Structure 1
Amino acid sequence: MANPQDDADTSKAPSATGLGEFMPSGADEPLHVRAAPAHANPYPFYSRLLSGAPIYREGPGEAWVVVSAAAVNAVLTSPLCLTRPAVNRVPEPLIGTPVAEIFSRLVRMNDGEIHCPLKSAVTATFEGLSERRIADLTADLAKDLAATIMPESGGERLNQFVSALPAQVIMSLLGIPADSFSDVSRWMGDYGAAATAAVTGVPTLTAAILQAGADSSAKLLDLFRSMVEALRVDDCSLFAMLSRQAACSNRLDADLVIANGIGLMAQGFAGTSALIGSTLIALARHPDVLAAARRDRAVLGLAIQEVLRFDPITHSTLRFVARDGFVAGQEMQANDMIIVTLAAASRDPAINPDPDSFDIFRDHRRYLEFGAGVHACPSAVLATTITEIALSHLLDRGIVCEGLEERVSYRPSSHVRMPVFGV
C-alpha cells in the first residue's frame, strides 16, 4: 500500500537516453511519471509509455523508469534492488532525531538479515487479524463518525470522513485509546511530513518541519513504549499480536516492534483513505456499477478490486541498485535509482487485456498495488475491508455520488494518487 516516504523529487523532467527514448508529453499529459499521480487523467500517458521501451532513463546519471508489467515484476523481485540506498539508508537530516528512530527500523525500509524475521512477524500479525473483526469495528466507528461529520453534506465533510475513518480503525486495532486518536493522527502527520521531505525534497525540509516531526515522533515513541509496558497476556490488540510474533524470534527487540507498530499507521492511513475516495469516483463515473451497488452491496467488493487495477493508489515506488549488475535485462550500476511505475504495469495489456475498460467482472485480474517479492504489502485484507464497509455506510446514508468526478482534484504527490473532493 501507499507509503508517503516513497515520493520522488518532482523537480526534474526526463530526457531521452538509455534503453528507450522518453517520448515528450502532450499538452494534456503529465510532464513525467512523478507528476502523473496528481494529474486528472494520467492513463493515456501511461499507455503511451507502455507502447515504447519497457525501461528508459531520465538522463545521464538520473533515474531509470520501468513501465511494463514484466519489467516491474523483475525489479520488485530482484535481489539486486533495495528499498533504500545502501550508502544512505537514513536521510542525513534525520540522523540523530526521533524521526530516524522510527524510519530506520521500518520493515519497509530494510533489506538483508533483519528483513526476513521482521517481515515474517508483520505478515503473521496480519494473518491473525480476522476480516470479521475489521468489518465489525469499521462499521461501529463509521456509524459514530458519520453521525458527527455528516459526510453526505458536502465535499469538505466527505474528505474528513474518508481521512478519519481508516485512521480510527487502525488506531483502535493497535490498541490506542480513543481519547488519543486526535493527538496520534496529528503526530503521524508531522512524522510523515518530515520523513517525506527528507527523502524527497518535496516540500523543502525546513527547520520547522523537521522540529515538528522530531517532537511528534518522540511522542509516538513514548506512547508505544507505554503500550509495551502495559501489554497483557490476554491482550488481543494488533500491537500485542505483533509483539508476540516478534517474541518468537530472538533477533527482534522492542524498538523494532515499536517502530513497526507506528509503521502500520504510516502505511495504512493515507493509502486506505485514497482507496475509499478513488472507489467513490469510479462509482460516480460508472452509473451502472453504482446502481448495482445500491441494490447489492456485494458489488462494492468487486468494484474495489477493479479500482486497484484501473485507478490504483500507489502509482510508483522506488528501488536502488545494491551493486553493478543486470536488472530486468538492463545493465545498471550500484546506487542507481529506479522508479517502478506500478500504475502503468497494471494497465499493461500483456497481463490485463482491454486494460482501459473498467470491468468489475474481469477474469484473471492482475494488479501491483500491494507490490510483489519480499516487500509485498501484507495489508490487502485490512485496506479493502475498511474501504468496503466505509462505502457501504456512505451509500446507506444516501451520499450522492453523481457529479463527484467533476469536483475532484488530486493532492500533489510523486507516487500516491490521493483524491480531494471539492464543495
Structure 2
Amino acid sequence: MDPIIAATHADPYPYYAQLRAEGGLVFHQGLKLWVASSADAVAAVFAHPDCQVRPLSEPVPKTIVEGLAGEVFGRLMRMNEGEPQRCPRSAIEPGLALIDRNEVQALVNARLITPDAEGLSKAMFRGPVCVVAALLGFSPAQGRMISELTADFVACLSPLSSQAQLDAAHGATEQLRGYFIELLAKTDSALLAAIKQRFEGDADTMIANLIGLCSQTHEATAGLIGNALVALRRHPELLGASMDTLMAEVQRFDPSVQNTRRFVAAACEIDGVRVEAGDVILVLLASANRDPALDEQPDSFLLDRPNRRSFSFGSGRHQCPGQVLAMEIACATVREILDHGVNLERLAWHYRPSLNGRIPLFNIVGD
C-alpha cells in the first residue's frame, strides 16, 4: 500500500490512520514527495500561498501542451493562481450557489434511469453533466453530446491515459468549444446570463471554464452518487434517512476525490516542516476527513454529526465553487435511482482505476 494506491483500495482508512500517526506531513521515500495526512497539515498546505496547483516549470502537462486540450487546461481557474483564477471564479461561483434545487430535481427526474449496471453508470457519469448542460441552456440532445465529449476530455487529465485517449481529448475539446461558441451567441439561460454579466475575461477563457465546469461535474459527482449507493448497501437502515443528511456524511466519510497535489513554488515552512522549492505535496483529503482533531468519532457513519467538517471539496482559495450544485445533483440522482427500484442487495463493485479518485463501478450480481 502507498498513499496513491490507497485511493482505490477496498478500505484505505486504517492505512490513512497509520500515516497520521507517523506525522501530519512526512516525506515518502518511495514516491519522492511529501504526504500531508492530518487535518492540520492539509489546512496549512491549502492556506499557504507558495503551495500552488501546478508546478512553475510545467503549467500545462507535457502530454497535452501541444493540443487544444492543453490550451483549455491552461485557462482553467482551478489550474491557475492569482487573477487567472480569481476572475473566472468570481463570475461562475455566485450563480452556482443559487441554483434552484427543484429545477435540478426536475432535470434529473426527466432522465431515463434503469436499475441495471448500464443504467447506474449512465446515471452517475452522464446524468450530472446533462443537468449542468441544461442549466447552461443546451437542449437535451445537445446535453447528451456534451456529456459524451466531456468524458473524452476528462481522460486527458489523468496520467493513466493512453495516447489514443489523449488524441481523442483534443478532438472532443474542439467539438466542445464549438458547442459553447454557439451557445454564447444565441442562448441566455439564467445561469449563463449571470456568468456572462460578471465575467471580465476573454471569450476563450470563459469557454474553457465552462468546459471545466462540465469536467469537474463528470467524475466528482459520479463518485458522490456511487459512494452514497455503497453506503446504503452497507447500511440499509439508512434508506429512510434524509438524502441531504446522508450525502453530507458520505462526502466526509468516503469522498470521491481522495487526494490532490500542491507544488511548492518557494522554500517555506508547512505545519512546522521545511519544504523546498520544487517539492511536491500529496494532500490526502480523505485522511484528513478521518482525523479525530477535525470530527469526533471520525470512523463512524453518523447522520446527526454536529458541526460536520471535511476537506472533500478543498479549502481556501481553490475550494470547489460547485459544491452546492454537486451535492444537489447527487442527492436528486440517488433519490431517482432508489425510486426506480435498484436492488441494493445485489450490488457489487470495484473502483475505477485512478490515482486520486474513488469512484465505484457497479455490476448487478445474478444478471
TM-score tier, shorter chain, comes to over 0.9
For the residue of structure 1 that corresponds to 2:257, the secondary structure is coil
- The residue number in structure 1 matching 2:96 is 126
For the residue of structure 2 that corresponds to 1:92, the secondary structure is coil
Cα distance in 2 for partners of 1:221, 1:48 equals 45
Report the alpha carbon displacement of residue 123 of structure 1 after superposing the two structures with TM: 1.3
- The residue number in structure 1 matching 2:341 is 398
- The residue number in structure 1 matching 2:176 is 220
Cα distance in 2 for partners of 1:269, 1:303 equals 21
Is structure 2 residue 111 aligned with structure 1 residue 155?
no
Counterpart mapping for 1:117-196 below 5 A: 117-139=87-109, 141-142=110-111, 145-146=112-113, 150=114, 152=115, 154-196=116-158
Please point out which of 316, 319, 331 is paired with 1:373: 316
For the 8 Å contact 1:125–1:245, the answer to whether it is kept is no
Report the alpha carbon displacement of residue 41 of structure 1 after superposing the two structures with TM: 0.9
Please point out which of 18, 29, 34 is paired with 1:64: 34
Is structure 2 residue 38 aligned with structure 1 residue 85?
no
Please point out which of 216, 224, 228 is paired with 1:267: 216
For the residue of structure 2 that corresponds to 1:389, the secondary structure is helix
Where does structure 2 lack aligned partners over 5 or more consecutive residues? none
Is structure 2 residue 268 aligned with structure 1 residue 325?
yes
Cα distance in 2 for partners of 1:109, 1:368 equals 18
Cα distance in 1 for partners of 2:339, 2:43 equals 39
Please point out which of 198, 221, 245 is paired with 1:245: 198
Please point out which of 167, 171, 178 is paired with 1:211: 167
Q: Which structure has the bigger radius of gyration?
A: 1
Cα distance in 1 for partners of 2:172, 2:18 equals 43
- The residue number in structure 2 matching 1:364 is 307
Please give the per-residue CA displacement for 1:357-412, whole angstroms capped at 9, x wherever unaligned. 111111111111111010001212111111111122222222222242xx111001
For the 8 Å contact 1:124–1:245, the answer to whether it is kept is no
Cα distance in 2 for partners of 1:382, 1:269 equals 12
- How many residues align? The count is 364
Counterpart mapping for 1:273-312 below 5 A: 273-290=222-239, 292-293=240-241, 299-312=242-255
For the 8 Å contact 2:97–2:325, the answer to whether it is kept is no
Q: Which amino acid aligns with 1:367?
A: S
Cα distance in 1 for partners of 2:31, 2:287 equals 23
- The residue number in structure 2 matching 1:409 is 350
Q: Which amino acid aligns with 2:192?
A: F
Report the alpha carbon displacement of residue 329 of structure 1 after superposing the two structures with TM: 2.1
Is structure 2 residue 82 aligned with structure 1 residue 112?
yes
Cα distance in 2 for partners of 1:338, 1:307 equals 25
For the 8 Å contact 1:167–1:185, the answer to whether it is kept is yes
TM-score (norm 1): 0.82
Please give the per-residue CA displacement for 1:96-148, whole angstroms capped at 9, x wherever unaligned. 31111210000000002322222211212213423333233223x23xx12xx
For the residue of structure 1 that corresponds to 2:350, the secondary structure is strand
Q: Which amino acid aligns with 1:342?
A: L
Where does structure 1 lack aligned partners over 5 or more consecutive residues? 1-30, 294-298
- The residue number in structure 1 matching 2:294 is 351
TM-score (norm 2): 0.94
Task: Note the aligned Cα RMSD (angstroms).
Answer: 1.7
Q: Aligned residues: percent identity? A: 35
Please give the per-residue CA displacement for 1:28-76, whole angstroms capped at 9, x wherever unaligned. xxx1111112111111111111222111112289211000001101101
